Structure 1
Amino acid sequence: MNESPANQDPELLRRLLRAKDRMDAASHEEWPVERLAEVSGVSEAHFARSFRQAFGTPPHRYLLTRRIERAMALLRDTDLPVTTIAFDTGWTSLGTFGRTFRDITGDSPSVSRRRARAAGHEFSRVPVCIVGAIQRPILATAVSEKRRQAIHDKNEPQQQEIPRCKVLR
């Protein structure tokens, strides 16, 4: 069970990458494990287990990351309404989109849009790939666990220093 990606079968990794590429290309679509396993040509249980071993995250969480990344880019770069962005990025409920977005990023979509536009000039000299990596939502922790941590943090306030990215020149 502790098999590292380097020890996995190269053919299996190619199959998993095929499914991952499909999710990347169409993150707005529904991608249940059954569909991903079919794309990969393996059983559902084997797919879910192998995907997590290979990429360090379960397939559903990976898809959430892609959807939130796309939503963050649309909020930053377009004037589309939040509702349109939610549905264009694959969410079927505006409430679920808003709650998940807030749980992952810490801000509502509207606040995130204002903050991204205000900070836009800060990243103007940094390569787009670096900015994307910095702004990528981290889903290593389940949303429910983040909620528990937030409740715990409210009960025991602590000073935390938030790391800031410096502009590369």
Structure 2
Amino acid sequence: MSVRRAPGDVLVHLRRARDHVDRHYTEPLDLDTLGAVAGLSKFHFQRLFKATYGLTPAAYHSQRRVERAQDLLRATNLTVTEVCHAVGFSSLGSFSSRFRDLVGETPSEFQRRYAAAGAPRIPGCYIFQWGLAERASQEKRTDDHAS
């Protein structure tokens, strides 16, 4: 099966939406939002995205969340549940299931494997503190631009 490529001018729009997913992976994103970011109808956007990147926008969004979860499980002392919520999943079951589908092992197995290797771990409190500080500064910048 060959993947059909989108015309060059459409790639700019698709990349804009893909970059939006990369920046906002923790947020719930739907086709209406991503289509609007790309400047395309949601159905046309979904067809072109899948043809170009080989994944639906929802699958890409989920994959980005799992990739970030891998980083957190490798490098922090956060629990699997904390990581699940930190990357935007609302259900531990769906997170674990999707993680296993993409990575080939459960989040707990993945985390244990890296912990056994003695990799340095960042305390979870630093991660959450940084995240809260980052969100507060973003909100301040948004408020400053609105006034």
TM-score, normalised to structure 2's length?
A: 0.73
Give the whole-Å Cα distance in 2 for the aligned partners of 1:51 and 1:105. Answer: 23
1:39-68 Cα shifts (integer Å, max 9, x gaps): 011111100000011111111111111111
Q: C-alpha root-mean-square deviation of aligned residues, in Å?
A: 1.8
Give the whole-Å Cα distance in 2 for the aligned partners of 1:58 and 1:116. Answer: 30
Q: Which residue of 2 aligns with 1:25?
A: 23
Percent identity over paired residues: 39
How many residues get paired?
118
Q: Which residue of 1 aligns with 2:112?
A: 114
Within the alignment, does 1:4 sit opposite 2:1 as a pair? no
Structure richer in helix, relative to its length:
2
TM-score, normalised to structure 1's length?
A: 0.64
Amino acid at match of 1:112: F
* Local SS of the residue matching 2:81: helix
Whether the 8 Å contact between 2:3 and 2:54 is mirrored in structure 1 is no
Amino acid at match of 1:58: T
1:73-124 Cα shifts (integer Å, max 9, x gaps): 1000000111111011010111211222223222221110111344577xxx
User: Which runs of no fewer than 5 residues in structure 1 stay unpaired?
Assistant: 122-169
Whether the 8 Å contact between 2:13 and 2:38 is mirrored in structure 1 is yes
Q: Which residue of 2 aligns with 1:98?
A: 96
Give the whole-Å Cα distance in 2 for the aligned partners of 1:51 and 1:59. Answer: 7
